[in-house]
Amino acid sequence: MIFLATLPVLDGIPSEQLGDDPSADEQEAGAGEYHFDRHCHSVSVIRKSVGFLSIIDGQVSVVRYLASYHGSMSDHDQGASVTPPPQHIPADRVMAELAEFGRNRIDGLSTVKILILGIMGGAFITAGALFSVILASGFESYGARVLVEGLGFSTGFFFVVLAEAVLFTEANVAMPAALFHGVSPAGRVFRFWGLALAGNLIGAIITGWTIQFAQLYSSDFDVLLAEIVAFKMSYREIGGVEGWVRLIISGMLANWLVGMAAFFATMGRTIIGKYIPVLLAVSLFVAAGFQHSPANMGYFSLSIASGGGPGWGQALVWNLIPAGIGNVLGGTLLVALPFWFIYGRNNEAGDGS
């Protein structure tokens, strides 16, 4: 803009002011040559003018910057510094947030909506199970294999968190929190639990059958999936009360970590702040082999739909039911109860403190 504004000004300046005083010989040489020389000289002056004005403009910018910097430093000296907002909710507020979340779900969702969200949750978890097997297929190192299994499965859990779908094991923290804070009656809490479990199973069966009908995977995929399912059914070989007790305890450990994943996801204020702890907690429980009822629904559905697996009757008796009992106990006794005892009684849901 400085260059364009300079052109008409310089064009109107007499040649004597520009330092252009043609001699008599030049005048006799003809008007064309004279005007050509004058044009060349004008261009030279324009270039010098633009450079000079650019320097001035740069100096003005520097002055403005120094003035703004001085002003900001003055504000800082006067105690007007801006503190960035916290990136997470304090731990002593999380249980109240979970209780409020549980109450909103219990009071705001009809039976049909809970069931549909449960089906979505089962579908997401089955997709996570699929991703974990795809990523881990072909790994010979056990540690590397279970690490990528956890990474893949955490995808499904995080889909549940972002979509606010219903997952039985996540509800094992939010529902007890609502109970302990006294914001929801027990009957409606147990109703929510039952619908969540039924929806997760329906979603897993539909998604597993659809995937296996539509897709063909490598032999490595089939081998690893069979190994995972065989491990989950290994408690049947123990049998009796001992097999069930071990499954229940393993389920408690699984929902201890999944409950902490829900706790940390509630604590985070950003997507990344939610995902990192979810990734760590979920990867840990998958790598450890703890029994997580909805996750096992996903693996069983993929296996049974392909013609393998133990069948749904055996899967329910020797994994899903006892693991589900353990999941409820783990989420309630290892996450919701201790945090409510430490923080919740002095920080009730909806009190605004």
| 101: in domain | yes
Whether the pLDDT of residue 138 is over 90: the answer is no
**187-241, pLDDT tens digit by residue?**
889 999 999 999 999 999 999 999 999 999 999 999 999 999 999 999 999 999 9
pLDDT at 259: 93
Whether the pLDDT of residue 33 is over 80: the answer is no
| 82: in domain | no
Contact between 137 and 218 (Cβ < 8 Å) = yes
Regarding whether 67 and 95 lie in a shared domain, the answer is no
Contact between 205 and 303 (Cβ < 8 Å) = no
Whether the pLDDT of residue 151 is over 50: the answer is yes
Q: pTM of the predicted model, to two decimals?
A: 0.74
| 143: in domain | yes
Instruction: Please state, in angstroms and rounded to a whole number, the distance separating the CA atoms of residues 69 and 57.
Output: 18
Regarding whether 190 and 316 lie in a shared domain, the answer is yes
Q: Which of 77, 112, 143 is the last residue of a domain?
A: 77
Tokens of 79: 């105690």
Instruction: Please state, in angstroms and rounded to a whole number, the distance separating the CA atoms of residues 6 and 234.
Output: 87
pLDDT at 181: 85
- Give the residue, 3 or 88, on which the prediction is more confident: 88
Regarding whether 163 and 258 lie in a shared domain, the answer is yes
Regarding whether 46 and 12 lie in a shared domain, the answer is yes
∠ CA 174-180-186, nearest 5°, is 80
**293-345, pLDDT tens digit by residue?**
999 999 999 999 999 989 999 999 999 999 999 999 999 999 999 999 998 76
Q: Which of 77, 103, 135 is the last residue of a domain?
A: 77
Regarding whether 211 and 253 lie in a shared domain, the answer is yes
Regarding whether 296 and 219 lie in a shared domain, the answer is yes
| 339: in domain | yes
Q: Which residues contact 179 (CB under 8 A, 6 or more apart)?
A: 186, 189
pLDDT at 348: 54
Q: Which of 77, 101, 122 is the last residue of a domain?
A: 77
CB atoms within 10 A of CB 278: 23
| 265: in domain | yes
Instruction: Please state, in angstroms and rounded to a whole number, the distance separating the CA atoms of residues 24 and 209.
Output: 100
Regarding whether 241 and 300 lie in a shared domain, the answer is yes
Q: Which residues contact 274 (CB under 8 A, 6 or more apart)?
A: 158, 161, 264, 265, 268
Instruction: Please state, in angstroms and rounded to a whole number, the distance separating the CA atoms of residues 122 and 85.
Output: 35
**53-111, pLDDT tens digit by residue?**
344 444 444 434 434 444 444 444 444 456 767 778 888 899 889 989 999 999 999 99
pLDDT at 88: 82
Whether the pLDDT of residue 174 is over 80: the answer is yes
Regarding whether 236 and 165 lie in a shared domain, the answer is yes
Q: What rounded mean pLDDT belongs to the chain?
A: 81
Q: What is the DSSP letter of 159?
A: H
Per the structure, the complete domain to which residue 54 belongs is given by 2-77
Whether the pLDDT of residue 243 is over 90: the answer is yes
Regarding whether 248 and 169 lie in a shared domain, the answer is yes
Number of domains in the chain: 2
Regarding whether 292 and 210 lie in a shared domain, the answer is yes
| 85: in domain | no
CATH of the domain at 104: 1.20.1080.10
Regarding whether 224 and 179 lie in a shared domain, the answer is yes
- Give the residue, 66 or 270, on which the prediction is more confident: 270
| 353: in domain | no
| 84: in domain | no
Regarding whether 228 and 251 lie in a shared domain, the answer is yes
pLDDT at 347: 56
